[in-house]
Amino acid sequence: MFLSGGREEAVAEYYKLQATEYHHKYYGNDTESDECVKAEVELLQSTLKGLDVLEIACGTGFWTKIVAETAKSIVATDTNPSMIAEAKKRLSHLSNVSFAVADAYSLQNVSEGFTGAFAVLFWCHIPRERIREFLTILHRKLAPGAPVVFICQLEDSDAESHIRDEYGNTLAQRRICGRNFTLVKNIPGKEQLLEDLKDFSEDIRYRVHSGSYWSISWINGKPH
Ligand SMILES: C[S@@+](CC[C@H](N)C(=O)[O-])C[C@H]1O[C@@H](n2cnc3c(N)ncnc32)[C@H](O)[C@@H]1O
């Protein structure tokens, strides 16, 4: 049986079930100095330096901690209270970081006027049919001229078993805690990303980093 309900709910539930082991499973003992994420660290820290930053889908806060080294402040958000609880355990000593439980597709109760924003490993989970709505809601929270950075994976280990749905989403099957999930796992190319963002910015930059990640960064440049 696969989880019924929206694709977004499946993603949220899948991560909720792994909150306590997520950090150790994916980051071990914090590898931000590793060569493999050096370019991503540099991009995030230099782009968001001195800014009041909104983070979407912070998880256990691996990237929050990195961005906090140069940002003025960060409001780190995630839809799962269990993820926020894990992030708080690790980062409660950072005076420029605060946390909020917030669904990325509504950002309810999140304030406005952020001068920067970012998310890591979240774009892949946004259903194609909700990209525009997601970006519109995000941009309402940003000041004009705010830089935004999204970073995600270039490949999935089991890509050969992925299937496509009618919206053009790539779907991956995952099993955790005895439950099966169908997750949106999109890996958009440069042209697709430029198309998705064309109504939000005239200043967009796509990069491929060291074989594992892509990033897209842009300046909030158009009113909506
Ligand atoms: C792959 S993890 C990435 C976490 C973190 N950014 C990182 O790179 O380690 C995806 C995160 O998205 C969160 N998430 C899933 N659906 C969400 C939604 N609708 N709104 C906000 N966060 C969501 C999950 O709870 C999880 O923490």
**Ordered DSSP codes for 17-42:** TTHHHHHHHHHSS--TTSGGGHHHHH
pLDDT of residue 193: 97
Atom of ligand 1 nearest to the CA of 55: 6
- Bridge partner residues of 172 (DSSP): 183
Ligand 1 binding pocket includes 57 (Cβ within 6 Å): yes
Read off the pLDDT of each residue in 127-156 and give the average, rounded to a whole number: 96
Which pLDDT band holds residue 161 (cuts at 50, 70, 90)?
Answer: confident
Cβ atoms 29, 129 nearer than 8 A: no
CA torsion sign for 132, 56, 20, 41 is: positive
- Report which protein residue has its CA nearest ligand 1's atom 16: 12
Cβ of 58 below 6 Å from ligand 1: yes
For 94-103, give one letter per residue: b (16+ CB within 10 A) or e: eeebebbbbb
Mean pLDDT score across all residues of the chain: 92
| DSSP secondary structure letter of residue 212 | T
Count of other CB atoms within 10 angstroms of residue 189: 11
Ligand 1 test: best mutation among 120, 122, 124, most atoms within 8 Å of CB? 122
User: In the block, which residue shows the tokens 């050969």?
Assistant: 160
Q: How far, in Å, from the CA of 122 to the mean position of ligand 1? A: 6
Q: Are 152 and 208 in contact (CB under 8 A)?
A: no
Span 3-27, average pLDDT: 86
Measured distance CA(82)–CA(209) in Å, rounded: 30
The arrangement of secondary structure in 20-158+189-217, i.e. its CATH architecture, is 3-Layer(aba) Sandwich (3.40)
Q: Which of 29-33, 148-152, 158-162 has the lowest mean pLDDT?
A: 29-33
For a pocket test of ligand 1, which of 78, 135, 137 has the largest count of ligand atoms closer than 8 A to its C-beta? 78
Q: Which residues pair with 69 in a beta bridge?
A: none
pLDDT for residue 2: 39
SS (H, E, C) 84-132: HHHHHHHHCCCCCEEEEECCCCCCCCCCCCECEEEEECCHHHCCHHHHH
Is there an atom of ligand 1 within 6 Å of 213 CB?
A: no
Ligand 1 geometric centre to CA of 57 (Å): 4
Least confident window among 49-58, 151-160, 183-192: 151-160
Q: Which residues contact 72 (CB under 8 A, 6 or more apart)?
A: 50, 51, 52, 53, 96
38-44 — which CB contacts under 8 Å span 24+ positions?
38/210, 39/207, 39/209, 39/210, 40/120, 40/151, 40/209, 40/213, 40/215, 41/66, 43/149, 43/151, 43/207, 43/209, 43/215, 43/217, 44/118, 44/149, 44/151
pLDDT of residue 53: 98
pLDDT of residue 35: 66
According to the model, what pLDDT value does residue 223 have?
Answer: 55
Residue 1 pLDDT > 50, yes or no?
Answer: no
Average pLDDT over residues 50-57: 98
Give the model's confidence band at 4: pLDDT under 50 very low, under 70 low, under 90 confident, else very high.
very low
Res. 224: pLDDT tops 60: no
Q: Using one digit for the tens of pLDDT, what is the confidence trace for 61-112?
A: 999 999 999 999 999 999 999 999 999 999 999 999 999 999 999 999 999 9
